Amino acid sequence: MSRFSLPQDAAFAALNTSLGFDQRLWPHDVAQSRAHVRMLAAQGIISDADRDEILEGLATAAGELATGTFPFQDGDEDIHMAVERRVTELTGPAGGKIHTGRSRNDQVITDLAMFTRAAAEQAKGDLEQLRQVILAVAEAHLDWPLPGYTHLQRAQPVYLSHHLLAYFWMVTRDIERFDAVLSATSLLPLGAGALAGVNFDTDRRMVAAELGFTGVVPNSVDAVSNRDFALDLLHALSVTATHLSRLGQEIVLWTSTEFGFMTLSDAWSSGSSIMPQKKNPDAAELLRGKAPRVWGHQAALHGVIHGLPLTYNKDLQEDKEHLFDAFDTVILCIAAAGGMLETGTFHREAMSAAASDPMIAAVDLADFLVKGGMPFRDAHGVVARLVRESVDGGLSLADVTTADLGPEAAAIFEQSSWLESKVSEGGTSLARVREQLEQARALLAT
């Protein structure tokens, strides 16, 4: 018997269903159903015999879902109803008791919390692998000079190892953000019912312990309406995508003919349909292009949630596709970033030649004057004049400087001087880079 006298319109049914995308939640749905029925039996709410029949039905349904033989039906609105229907088919009246003491509202949010926790764990693991790749590539190119840029103009030279380690620390912060997601999913929502709790003496903490939660959400209204952890996951994914997009842009530049600092492996390159000579850094470009897609999912979920009254509203069904696609996208991008770095070839001579531009020594030259007693702002003005004379006269800055300041200043224009003079903590001198490498190794060992 249904409350409704007419069947759903076909367009509404298509709009309403989520089975097409929430099927991937089935491992979490089965796991929480197992924990739920064990708790129901332990509390005397259902019999041990019913529990055992339901658990057997869940095992059969899980096997079918894992092998792709699960008999979905047109009326299955979502994965939760599909599993319940199948268990009831398999066990009869016992299966009809699986939903005792819970609502789809707390069931869905529990599945989503479990997915979010698993997603954060996987992202952390994949980022740990990326950190190891970055560290290995940095160690292999410890003393390779590279121009550092501001405004995409040559600014000051650094070692390639120092430059790559910047991404190591970005990824480290990304991992910390996923740790925050794990903290946000530590409390169990199940047991909140539709919004007000349930009419049975359930043991929510028993379920929490079995499913790996550290406690239970203390307020039933908050339990079913909360999607903060989903926003936290999307934020962590968005920042990670941003970092990867920056790396992708640098790889695009470095592999261009104009830069010539790097060559990608053929395994991470694409050709042209018309120009046979082309070797395109499409994977790196996609690190750029995928990032806004992830950000869009974060903004969209904020839009879904921002004006919703408590507690559950059907709008919240729109949380899953944003989470799923953002997660899948970033996991692919992490793999691509690591693959390109691990298999790419850097070209020392090209980088060193670009890092030998005498103009790069301008700051070192100003500091040379400061060490001689000149105020820095005055030194800045002197060097700016020398740079202008060099540009206007088509001369080397080294030649102009030597003529103006004497031969003692000529030593400033040795490339090793520019690099090894950066002795401040966190700087690019080899001694400081080696300190960073030790810090990074110690972090990976923890």
| Residue 147 parent element (H or E) | strand 145-150
Residue 272 catalytic? yes
Name residue, tokens 């992830």. Answer: 294
3-state helix, strand, coil in the chain (%, to 5): 70, 5, 25
Q: How many C-beta atoms lie closer than 10 Å to residue 424's C-beta?
A: 9
Return the structure tokens found at 279: 């070797």
CA atoms within 13 A on the CB side of 86: 28
Which residues, other chains included, contact 41 with Cβ-Cβ below 8 Å and sequence gap of 6+? 47, 48, 50, 51
How many of the other CB atoms lie within 10 Å of CB of 393?
A: 10
Beta carbons of 232 and 307 less than 8 angstroms apart: no
**Concatenated DSSP letters of 191-234:** T-TTTT--SS---HHHHHHHHT-SEE-S-HHHHHH--HHHHHHH
Alpha-carbon distance of 355 to 230, in angstroms, equals 45
Tokens of 114: 């479990």
Q: Which of 47, 183, 265, 272 is catalytic?
A: 272
CA 179 – CA 145 distance, rounded (Å) = 35
b/e 290-303 (16+ beta carbons within 10 angstroms → b): bbeebbebbebbee
5, 151, 273, 424: which one is catalytic? 151
Tell me which residues are annotated as active site: 151, 272
